[in-house]
Amino acid sequence: MKRLGIALFILGALPLWSIAPGATLSVRLVVAHNENNKISKALQDVRPTLQRNLGYTGYDLLTRKDLKIPPGGTVDLGSGFQLKCSGSQKSLRVKLTRNKKRLFDTTLNLRKGKPVILGGFKVKRGRAMVILVSK
């Protein structure tokens, strides 16, 4: 079994691209596992990226939130996870905590339509990750 471990996958994040103000940021909390080969229907747009880059057979969507760019405030993703996004169109700061423990704090430049996968945090059924996609 290929283990993801705690890692930061920046797929499609390039320093020369950014998202425009007023764009939407899709934020999804996902659990990757090897219990079965089911992939939540709400993950079809990122399915090829998940299958190509991660060694899991199943992906369950726990939460999805859509934010306007530039975002502000903290978003509760459930299961103790909270995400805070701030910044401008050129520099999106993303902080993730679980039960008030900081998991990551990073700055990204996103390419429209290209997923960014952050995480690989151990949970009961597999690994949790946050998938960000600007639209």
pTM summary value: 0.81
CA angle 11, 91, 107 (to 5 degrees): 60
Please check whether residue 2 lies inside any domain of the structure: no
Question: What's the CA gap between 116 and 27, in Å, rounded?
Answer: 10
Question: What's the CA gap between 69 and 53, in Å, rounded?
Answer: 27
Residue-wise pLDDT for 65-77, tens only, equals: 998 876 677 899 9
Please check whether residue 81 lies inside any domain of the structure: yes
> pLDDT over 70 for what percent of the chain?
80
Q: What pLDDT is attached to residue 21?
A: 56
Please check whether residue 122 lies inside any domain of the structure: yes
Question: What's the CA gap between 43 and 52, in Å, rounded?
Answer: 14
Please check whether residue 1 lies inside any domain of the structure: no
Residue ranges making up the domain that contains 12: 7-134
Please check whether residue 21 lies inside any domain of the structure: yes
Question: What's the CA gap between 131 and 31, in Å, rounded?
Answer: 11
Q: Which two tokens stand for residue 39?
A: 């992939």
The separation between the first and the last C-alpha atoms of the chain, rounded to the nearest angstrom, is 33
Residue-wise pLDDT for 88-132, tens only, equals: 656 889 999 999 999 999 999 888 888 999 989 999 999 999 999
